[in-house]
Amino acid sequence: MIDRLARQISFFAPAAVMSAWATIMLHTFATGHLNRLLSPIFRNYVLAASVLLFVLSALYLLLYEAAPNPAPSFAPTGRLRQIGRWAVLLVPLIAASILSPTALSSTTADKRGSDTVGAIPMPSFTDISRDNVQLALSADPNQPVPMEVTDLVTLSQSPEQMKAFEGRKVRTVGLFENRSGSSPKLYRWIMWCCAADAIPVSVELSGNASGNWSDTQYLEVVGTATFPSTLGHVVPRIEVDTIKPTQEPDEPFLSP
């Protein structure tokens, strides 16, 4: 009886683990947790891979044919060894489902950001960002313009656009950072492929930015956009009028 149960466990183990991995992938997709780990252009591949794992699990069960010869003498047959085989398959699965981070930390932002205080490297952005800038330039100057941090960075790359937008009211959402020895910042993560290649892009905050804010807390800032130059870099800055906590955006990461 025990030997028969052990053989059944060995038979179903690969299919069970593939199905479990597929379930975890579908769970991250359905709950939106995948948004914090992967760029939008790759998320459908995760969905396709999870469906494929379910199909492969079914095919394994339908097409498997037991070998006519008995298992060799070195094959694991004891219950302890069987448990070990299951552990090897399931421990990575459990770790992936429980230990995956919900967000990148402020320490990660420090390590991946600029080492020069006040100088922000300017990444290149797509035509979408430039279209957002053109919409902002044409918006009602008497109302705060909703803008992403990346839009302000894009503006800072063009002297003409900076001159046209200098002094405009903006409304921006981002993560708060206040390191000792530097101005407080509002930043967003830019993701090309996945969380492993994400980098923070920030704007400085000045004026009424005080409050009991914690690092990596999402804040909504309303204020005046300025573009001072520091150490040869144009550093977008918001002279804060109001600042308050807000919800995490639907897309925690921005795409370049």
DSSP-assigned states of every residue in 72-86: PTTS--SHHHHHHHH
Q: Are 58 and 171 in the same domain?
A: no
Q: 121 with 61, same domain?
A: no
- Nearest CA to 150 among 6, 249, 15, 77? 249
Boundary-marking domain end, from 75, 98, 121: 98
CA gap 106, 142 in Å, rounded: 35
- 82 plus 138 within the same structural domain: no
pLDDT of amino acid 174: 92
Return the minimum-mean-pLDDT range out of 44-48, 93-97, 137-141, 149-153. Answer: 93-97
Q: Inform me whether the pLDDT recorded for 117 exceeds 70.
A: no
- Segments of the chain assigned E as strands: 145-146, 169-177, 185-190, 199-207, 218-226, 229-230, 233-234, 237-245, 253-254
What value does the mean pLDDT take over residues 201-226? 87
Asked if 84 and 112 sit in the same domain, the reply is: no
End of a domain among 66, 98, 130? Answer: 98
At which residue do the structure tokens 């947790």 appear?
Answer: 33
54: containing domain? 2-98
pLDDT tens, residue by residue, 50-98: 998 888 888 877 776 555 555 544 445 556 655 665 666 666 666 666 6
What is the phi/psi pair of residue 175, to 5°? -90, 140
On whether both 130 and 245 belong to a single domain, the answer is yes
Higher pLDDT, 205 or 117: 205
- Domain total of the chain: 2
Residues 89 and 120 in one domain: no
Pick from 66-80, 81-95, 115-129, 240-254 the range whose average pLDDT is largest: 240-254
Instruction: Kindly state whether residues 192 and 130 are assigned to the same domain.
Output: yes
Please determine, for residue 43, whether its predicted confidence score (pLDDT) is greater than 90: no
Lowest mean pLDDT, pick from 36-50, 112-126, 215-229, 237-251: 112-126
> Which whole-number Å values give the CA distances from 50 to 41, 55, 100, 156, in the listed order?
16, 9, 18, 42
Mean pLDDT computed over 95-121 = 55
| Residues 168 and 224 occupy one common structural domain | yes
User: Based on the domain organization, do 27 and 75 belong to the same domain?
Assistant: yes
pTM for the model stands at: 0.64
- On whether both 57 and 160 belong to a single domain, the answer is no
CA 86 to chain centre: 31
Q: Which residues contact 110 (CB under 8 A, 6 or more apart)?
A: 179
Nearest residue to 207 via CA among 165, 241, 254, 171: 241
Residues 41 and 164 in one domain: no
Domain final residue, candidates 98, 127, 159:
98
